[in-house]
């Protein structure tokens, strides 16, 4: 391993571990009611956001969904302001108004995580259209789940983006479930990338759970999008959520899936994989850094104030 390779692995491990430890902490304290909003955890799915966002520039933007913690942090969103937002504090990234499902950090290119299924898709397309009009080489990335691919706006947006050759990358985090409904019970064509190709959009399907494969593929797609020669692109990444659809617990007892279904994904956990790629001394340093960042973020949230009554009518409009 060269020094450059070690530096890259170190950066990727830090991002993976920060997301994992944060969400484990969120799950551990959720019962205390300190967190004031529903939570959709990304435990087990972190590698998709990290692999994609690692090749993006700061001035590229990402749009996400209610399961957006991983995307927010992988793109460089402010950790302290994120935790404060979960606490409903005025120092949060949405000043305590959005909670877990409405994270935003425009300075880092995180344009928002609206909770309505598929609602971020046309936003990303609109942003990409603006960049083409301005003749920039910025790229818009839209993260979506497999359930969102069944909404009408998904097909409308894919078609429009292809028609206008827009610099947008759609990343489908396909964990096979729309809440509790398996994709095989919802559609006869379970490979979403095949559907997308019918619109003439280059689409790649990755089912290995390999973060470096996702990173390399994203790099190729983003390079093409920046050139202005091709657009849009679609990347389908098979993954698996380890926790319940919404909330801090496991849900194997509900009977719609079994722990055996998760066996492959837990055996190929990318957090553990990248830990093993680093020398112990380097790995320990990353883990200490993450621990410190976590402690500081939660202390910041605990010490911050709730929005005051003087803010009650902020951002409201009447005609």
Checking 295-298 for CB contacts under 8 A at 24+ apart, the result is 296/80, 297/22, 297/79, 297/80, 297/82, 297/83, 298/25, 298/83
Asked if 234 and 201 count as a contact pair (C-beta separation under 8 A), the reply is yes
Helices 211-227 and 46-53, packing angle to 10 deg: 40
Q: What's the rounded mean pLDDT across residues 153-157?
A: 97
Asked if 94 and 110 count as a contact pair (C-beta separation under 8 A), the reply is no
Q: Reduced to 3 states, what is the DSSP secondary structure of residue 296?
A: helix
Each residue of 83-107: pLDDT tens digit? 999 999 999 999 999 999 999 999 9
| Alpha carbon distance 106, 115 (integer Å) | 18
| Alpha carbon distance 29, 32 (integer Å) | 6
Each residue of 115-130: pLDDT tens digit? 899 999 999 999 999 9
Q: What's the rounded mean pLDDT across residues 140-145?
A: 98
Query: Number of folded domains in the chain?
Result: 1
Give the per-residue pLDDT at 78: 98
Each residue of 251-291: pLDDT tens digit? 999 999 999 999 999 999 999 999 999 999 999 999 999 99
| Alpha carbon distance 220, 251 (integer Å) | 37
Q: In this structure, is residue 232 part of a structural domain?
A: yes
Q: In this structure, is residue 316 part of a structural domain?
A: no
Alpha helices (H) along the chain: 3-29, 46-53, 69-74, 79-86, 120-134, 152-164, 192-197, 211-227, 263-267, 270-276, 280-303
Q: In this structure, is residue 91 part of a structural domain?
A: yes
Q: What's the rounded mean pLDDT across residues 46-59?
A: 98
Q: In this structure, is residue 313 part of a structural domain?
A: no
Asked if 77 and 64 count as a contact pair (C-beta separation under 8 A), the reply is no
Q: In this structure, is residue 314 part of a structural domain?
A: no
| Alpha carbon distance 106, 72 (integer Å) | 10
Q: What's the rounded mean pLDDT across residues 58-85?
A: 97
Give the chain's mean pLDDT.
95
Q: What percent of the chain has pLDDT over 90?
A: 93
pLDDT for residue 189 is more than 70:
yes
Q: In this structure, is residue 16 part of a structural domain?
A: yes
Q: In this structure, is residue 315 part of a structural domain?
A: no
Burial of 237 (0-12, 13-18, 19+ CB in 10 A): buried
Q: Is the dihedral of CA 188, 119, 73, 76 positive or negative?
A: positive
Whichever domain contains 262, its CATH number is 3.40.50.970
User: What domain range includes position 235?
Assistant: 3-305
- The number of helix segments (H) and strand segments (E) in the chain equals 11, 7
Q: In this structure, is residue 245 part of a structural domain?
A: yes
């Amino acid at each position: 391993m060269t020094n450059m390779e070690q530096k890259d692995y170190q950066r990727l491990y830090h991002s993976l571990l920060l997301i994992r430890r944060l969400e484990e902490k969120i799950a551990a304290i959720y019962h205390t009611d300190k967190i004031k909003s529903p939570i959709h955890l990304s435990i087990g799915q972190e590698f998709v956001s990290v692999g994609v966002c690692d090749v993006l520039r700061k001035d590229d933007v990402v749009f996400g969904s209610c399961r957006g913690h991983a995307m927010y942090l992988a793109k460089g969103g402010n950790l302290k302001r994120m935790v404060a937002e979960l606490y409903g504090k005025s120092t949060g990234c949405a000043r305590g108004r959005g909670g877990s499902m409405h994270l935003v950090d425009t300075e880092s290119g995180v344009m928002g995580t609206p909770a309505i299924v598929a609602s971020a898709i046309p936003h990303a397309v609109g942003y990409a259209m603006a960049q083409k009009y301005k003749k920039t080489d910025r790229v818009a990335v839209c993260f979506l789940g497999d359930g969102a691919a069944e909404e009408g706006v998904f097909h409308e947006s894919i078609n429009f983006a292809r028609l206008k050759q827009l610099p947008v990358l759609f990343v489908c985090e396909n964990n096979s479930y729309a809440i509790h409904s398996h994709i095989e019970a919802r559609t006869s064509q379970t490979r979403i990338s095949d559907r997308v190709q019918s619109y003439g959009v280059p689409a790649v399907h990755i089912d290995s759970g390999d973060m470096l494969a996702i990173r390399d593929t994203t790099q190729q797609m983003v390079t093409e999008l920046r050139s202005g020669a091709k657009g849009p692109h679609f990347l389908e990444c098979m993954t698996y959520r380890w926790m319940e659809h919404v909330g801090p617990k496991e849900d194997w007892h509900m009977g719609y899936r079994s722990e055996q279904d998760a066996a492959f994904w837990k055996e190929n956990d990318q957090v553990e994989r990248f830990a093993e790629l680093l020398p112990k001394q380097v790995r320990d340093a990353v883990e200490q850094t993450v621990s410190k960042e976590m402690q500081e973020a939660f202390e910041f949230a605990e010490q911050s104030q709730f929005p005051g009554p003087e803010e009650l009518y902020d951002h409201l409009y009447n005609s």
